[in-house]
Amino acid sequence: MKLIRRSLVLGALLTTAFGGLLVLLVGQSVDFRTPSVDLRPLVSTESAGETVSLPQRKFEWQARTPHPLDLKYPYPYPFLLNHPNKCEGPRGAPFLLMLVMTRPQDVGVRQAIRKTWGNETLVPGVVICRLFVLGLPPPLFTKELHALLEEEDREHGDLLQVGLLDTYHNLTLKVLMGLEWMAQYCPSAHYVLKVDSDVFLNPSFLVQQVLQPNGPPRPNFITGYIYSNTGPLRNPAYKWYVPPELYSPDKYPPYCGGPGYVLSGSLALRVLTVAQTLKVIYLEDVFVGLCLQQLGVRPTPSPPKTFQMFPLKYEHCFFHQLALVHQFQAQELLRIWPDFQRVNTTCPMA
């Protein structure tokens, strides 16, 4: 608990400091890449079976006057902490690749997730591969955190650090880099879960009820909480403000809510391919929806209540009948987990 609280305080400090730094850094070209990294091609073209083509519009973002929320993509962001063999365990290709989005400073949150829903051996007989995807901390803290992150990674071997600034507005890039990792090092994963770190996840329900390991392959499968008939908020006061310069239509295509969605591996590879050809917007879940629209794929509805986008109070039986609850803090997760794990025969059978 202490560790978590301390990392939360550190997080708050970093966030505050970062605001100031951003002002100082705007206009300067700051290169955070370390010189020793291997600048790999964007997307491996040799990945099994699938053709993931190289970007056609690679430099389009350079030709326009950049909007402050413009994201550079495609772009060869390096993997600074990487585990190329993570997915090649003796048990074969993972059924589920979990890409957990965290911030560099969230050491305690990652620890809580490893001990709870992120545990790779939680679902018997099902191979799960977990990676935490993180970017770079604000520049002033890079040195301090670097040693900590290296130590954490030595111990757990599950950090995928991408060479781009870890900010809310860069989240889409983090997710795309997670998919690039998948395309390069884990293209045979059956399913890919994109999940935020502030959630409760029920991996058994997700695997057995939503994904169904014994079911047929579903190449066009993506599910989560589906938002339909939404559109951009044009008032700059909103957190999810999107100016017409970034996205001009007044509707978004259907998309799965960002806290957690899961898609088949083959669809993940195709989403990544079309992502190279579209203008990237910072709303990561909407952007994936735009990729799906381009691919002519509609999200598959899950049973109602499976993916909860709003906070819910823990209740043993109810939580066993759902896949995800958003806005679940790490301390609460650690507190309820022993009870959640306990076999409770009084729950009504679904």
CA-CA-CA-CA dihedral for 71, 77, 83, 89, to nearest 10: 60
129 forms part of the interface with ligand NAG (CB under 6 A): no
Q: How many CA atoms lie within 13 A of 82 on its CB side?
A: 20
Instruction: Give start and end residues of each alpha helix (H) in 252-324.
Output: 265-275, 284-295, 316-320
Stretch that binds ligand NAG, among 92-100, 111-119, 126-134, 291-299 (CB under 6 A): 111-119
Residue type, 175: V
Nearer to ligand NAG, 298 or 320 (CB): 320
- Out of 157, 251, 317, 335, which residue is the one contacting ligand NAG (CB under 6 A)? 317
Q: To the nearest whole angstrom, how small is the minimum distance from the Cβ of residue 168 to ligand NAG?
A: 8
Angle among Cα 274, 192, 336 to the nearest 5 degrees reads 140
Nearer to ligand NAG, 36 or 346 (CB): 346
| φ and ψ of 241, to 5 deg | -55, 130
Plot region of 26 (φ>0 → left; ψ -120 to 50 → alpha; else → beta): beta
Stretch that binds ligand NAG, among 186-194, 213-221, 323-331, 339-347 (CB under 6 A): 339-347
Which residues, in sequence order, are CB contacts of 263 under 8 Å at separation 6+?
191, 192, 221, 222, 223, 271
- Out of 8, 32, 83, 139, which residue is the one contacting ligand NAG (CB under 6 A)? 32
Which residues, in sequence order, are CB contacts of 324 under 8 Å at separation 6+?
195, 199, 200, 201, 202, 206, 224, 259, 260, 306, 307, 308
- Out of 58, 83, 169, 298, which residue is the one contacting ligand NAG (CB under 6 A)? 169
33 forms part of the interface with ligand NAG (CB under 6 A): no
Element (H, E) at 160: strand 159-165
Q: To the nearest whole angstrom, how small is the minimum distance from the Cβ of residue 192 to ligand NAG?
A: 21
Q: What is the per-residue binding string for ligand NAG in 218-247, x denoting contact by CB under 6 A?
A: ------------------------------
15 forms part of the interface with ligand NAG (CB under 6 A): no
Strand, coil or helix: 207: helix
Q: To the nearest whole angstrom, how small is the minimum distance from the Cβ of residue 246 to ligand NAG?
A: 11
172 forms part of the interface with ligand NAG (CB under 6 A): no
How far is Cα 230 from Cα 209, in angstroms, rounded to an integer?
28
119 forms part of the interface with ligand NAG (CB under 6 A): yes
Stretch that binds ligand NAG, among 36-44, 105-113, 209-217, 340-348 (CB under 6 A): 340-348
Return residues touching ligand NAG (CB under 6 A): 32, 69, 114-115, 119, 121-122, 164-165, 167, 169-170, 315-317, 342, 344, 346-347
